[in-house]
Each structure stands twice: as structure tokens, then as C-alpha cells.
């Protein structure tokens, strides 16, 4: 229990609750898929890796190793490619990041592989792999679930057997100083490596900026603070320089769950492919604006059933 408390000590409040919930899911005796949600940079990959490392010696949990795969990079995978991945991660944790980037074809193929057989094992023709699977996404659960712009309903239902959302700093920032200390120590600066306190801590804790990049923002703050310190600047001067540079160069744009309201034509696609992409775009736009396709039927002068078929 003491070791577990030490593991969670950098998190408090809602973030701690989310990590504890993830911990209960990842150690569940069943082989249930986990959907781990959160804005980019909130620490999703970090906590999946931390928990896998914590439990890797407990053979019965199937957390002996971990393999992380970007969904977009797996869209060219065939069945044999997935079998090789399952073999590599057998008795471990497979994490597929940014699941919303899987094509519908990839979802259909992977659905076959992650439909468990007897004893909760995974595979295609043969269900022989003892693995745990987690999926991450920066999208809201409603964006993934309520339409098929990103995920097919059948696929979403399969991967969302357990779900947990990790709050970002814009939602909950009281632990930001603890996270910054962890970031600073991770950098292992050789010179001038004493932890900055004072004005930097005050700025972070008082939300001198909305940190939409989360941990990635802290990385940038740490390396830039250290660089300005090496130049011999005072703490007050460093903070002034850092704030200006952060706003100008480094800040991450505000994350939004809303679908982008500007359609972009792909020069690599023909007119028919672009038209199909626009239909999906418009369908999602109407669903978000009116709450459902049926409710937007009158304003759009298009049957909701027509839009459902797009």
C-alpha cells in the first residue's frame, strides 16, 4: 500500500481519482478493453507505462511488458501484421494511441482480433494471446460514441468496456507544481540544476497561462527556464522572457471537442472522395449544432435518414 501511495503521490484531487480508477481497470482479472481519454499531453501514456512497470513482475496480471502503437501508423496493417504485434506483446499491455485515427477498415479488422475467445484470449483464427489492450483518445466520449465520424458503433462498443478520463490543467491545476518538479528532475540538467521556486511556482499555481499542452508545456517551460538561467539572468528576468516566448512560440492551441467548422479539400483525392469526406464533415457538423440529425432536418432541408446513410 505504501508503494502504491508513493506511485500516486504526484497526483491529487480529480487527477488522482482518475489514475486510481485506471489502476483498478488495468488490474481487473478480466481482459476488458480500456478507453483512456484526455487532452493531448495530460499524461495518458505516462500513467499506462507507470502502472505497467509497477505490476510487471506479477505474472497473472499480463503486464510484463508494454507496446505503444499510433493508430494512424497501423492503418496499413493486415491480419499478419497484427498477429506479429500480438506475439510481441503477449503477456503484456498493448496501447493503441489516438484511436479515432483508425480507418473504418482497420477497425473492422482489429475488431476481429480483439474479440476475445475462451479464457479471455485474443487473436484472429486462433485465440491464443494473453494481452491487455488500452486505447487512448483526445476526443470526448460523445464525439467517439454518438456518431460514426470517428468510430463505428460496433467498434466503440467493443473498446469501451472500461473508460476513464484524465483531467487537464485547465480543468484542475492544483498539482501542477508537483508535475513541474517531476518534469524538471526528468531533464537531468548537468549545470544550474537546482529547482526554480519563487516566481515560477507562483505563476504556475496561479494559472499565469492556460496550459493546454499539459505535460508538453511543462517540458518547454523547464528547458527554456534552464537556458535563460545559463545566460545569467535573474529569476524575475527569466520569468519575463519565458512568458513572452511561451505566448509567442510555444503555447499549445486550446483543445476543443468540437469538429472543425472549416472543410479542407484534399489535393491527393479525386472529387468523389472529397465529396464523401464533405458529407461526413457536414453530417457531424449538423449533429453537433442541433443535437441530432433528426433535429437538424428542417433547417438543412435534408432528410436525416439521407444523412445517416452518408
Q: Which of 107, 132, 165 is the last residue of a domain?
A: 165
Question: Is residue 102 in a domain?
Answer: yes
222 and 200 assigned to the same domain: yes
- Do 183 and 130 belong to one domain? no
Asked, for residue 194, whether it belongs to a domain, the answer is yes
Written as one string, the DSSP assignment of 116-183 is --GGG-EESSSEEE--EEEEEESS-HHHHHSSSSSS-HHHHHHH-SEEEE---TTT--TTHHHHHHHH
Residue 259 placed within a domain: no
How confident is the model at residue 74, as a pLDDT?
94
Q: Are residues 112 and 182 in the same domain?
A: no
Q: Quick one: residue 95, left, alpha or beta (phi over 0 = left, psi -120 to 50 = alpha)? A: beta
pLDDT at 298: 83
Please tell me whether residue 44 adopts helix, strand or coil conformation: helix
What is the per-residue pLDDT for 294? Answer: 82
Q: Is residue 265 part of a domain?
A: no
Determine, yes or no, domain membership for 171. no
Predicted pLDDT at 255: 52
Number of domains, the chain: 3
Do 9 and 157 lie in one domain? The reply is yes
Q: Do 107 and 46 share a domain, yes or no? A: yes
Asked if 119 and 22 sit in the same domain, the reply is yes
Q: Are residues 234 and 297 in the same domain?
A: no
Residue segments in the chain with a per-residue pLDDT below the cut of 70: 1-2, 117, 169-174, 207-210, 212-213, 253-264, 266-269, 288
> Could you list the residue range(s) of the whole structural domain that residue 276 is in?
271-309
Model pTM?
A: 0.66
Instruction: List residues bridging with 127 in a β-sheet.
Output: 123
170 domain-assigned: no
Domain final position from 165, 185, 200 = 165
Amino acid at each position: 500500500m505504501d508503494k502504491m501511495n508513493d506511485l500516486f503521490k504526484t497526483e491529487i484531487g480529480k487527477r488522482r481519482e482518475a489514475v486510481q480508477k485506471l489502476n483498478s481497470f488495468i488490474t481487473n482479472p478480466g481482459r476488458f478493453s480500456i478507453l483512456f481519454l484526455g487532452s493531448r499531453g495530460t499524461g495518458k501514456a505516462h500513467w499506462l507505462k507507470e502502472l505497467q512497470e509497477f505490476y510487471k513482475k506479477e505474472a497473472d496480471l499480463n503486464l510484463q511488458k508494454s507496446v505503444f502503437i499510433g493508430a494512424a501508423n497501423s492503418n496499413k496493417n493486415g491480419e499478419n501484421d497484427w498477429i506479429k504485434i500480438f506475439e510481441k506483446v503477449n503477456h503484456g499491455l498493448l496501447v493503441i494511441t489516438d484511436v479515432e485515427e483508425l480507418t473504418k477498415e482497420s477497425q473492422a479488422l482489429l475488431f476481429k482480433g480483439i474479440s476475445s475467445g475462451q479464457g479471455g484470449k485474443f487473436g484472429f483464427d486462433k485465440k491464443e494471446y494473453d494481452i491487455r489492450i488500452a486505447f487512448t483518445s483526445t476526443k470526448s466520449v460523445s464525439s467517439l460514441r454518438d456518431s460514426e465520424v470517428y468510430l463505428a458503433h460496433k467498434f466503440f462498443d467493443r473498446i469501451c468496456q472500461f473508460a476513464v478520463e484524465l483531467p487537464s490543467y485547465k480543468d484542475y491545476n492544483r498539482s501542477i507544481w508537483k508535475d513541474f518538479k517531476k518534469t524538471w528532475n526528468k531533464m537531468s540538467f548537468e549545470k544550474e540544476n537546482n529547482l526554480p521556486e519563487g516566481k515560477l511556482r507562483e505563476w504556475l499555481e496561479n494559472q499565469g497561462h492556460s496550459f493546454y499542452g499539459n505535460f508538453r508545456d511543462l517540458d518547454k517551460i523547464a528547458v527554456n527556464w534552464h537556458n535563460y538561467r545559463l545566460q545569467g539572468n535573474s529569476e524575475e528576468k527569466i520569468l519575463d522572457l519565458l512568458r513572452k516566448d511561451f505566448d509567442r512560440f510555444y503555447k499549445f492551441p486550446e483543445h476543443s471537442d468540437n469538429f472543425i467548422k472549416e472543410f479542407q479539400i484534399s489535393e491527393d483525392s479525386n472529387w468523389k472522395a472529397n465529396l464523401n469526406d464533405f458529407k461526413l464533415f457536414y453530417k457531424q457538423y449538423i449533429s453537433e449544432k442541433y443535437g441530432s440529425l433528426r433535429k437538424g432536418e428542417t433547417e438543412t432541408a435534408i432528410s436525416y435518414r439521407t444523412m445517416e446513410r452518408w
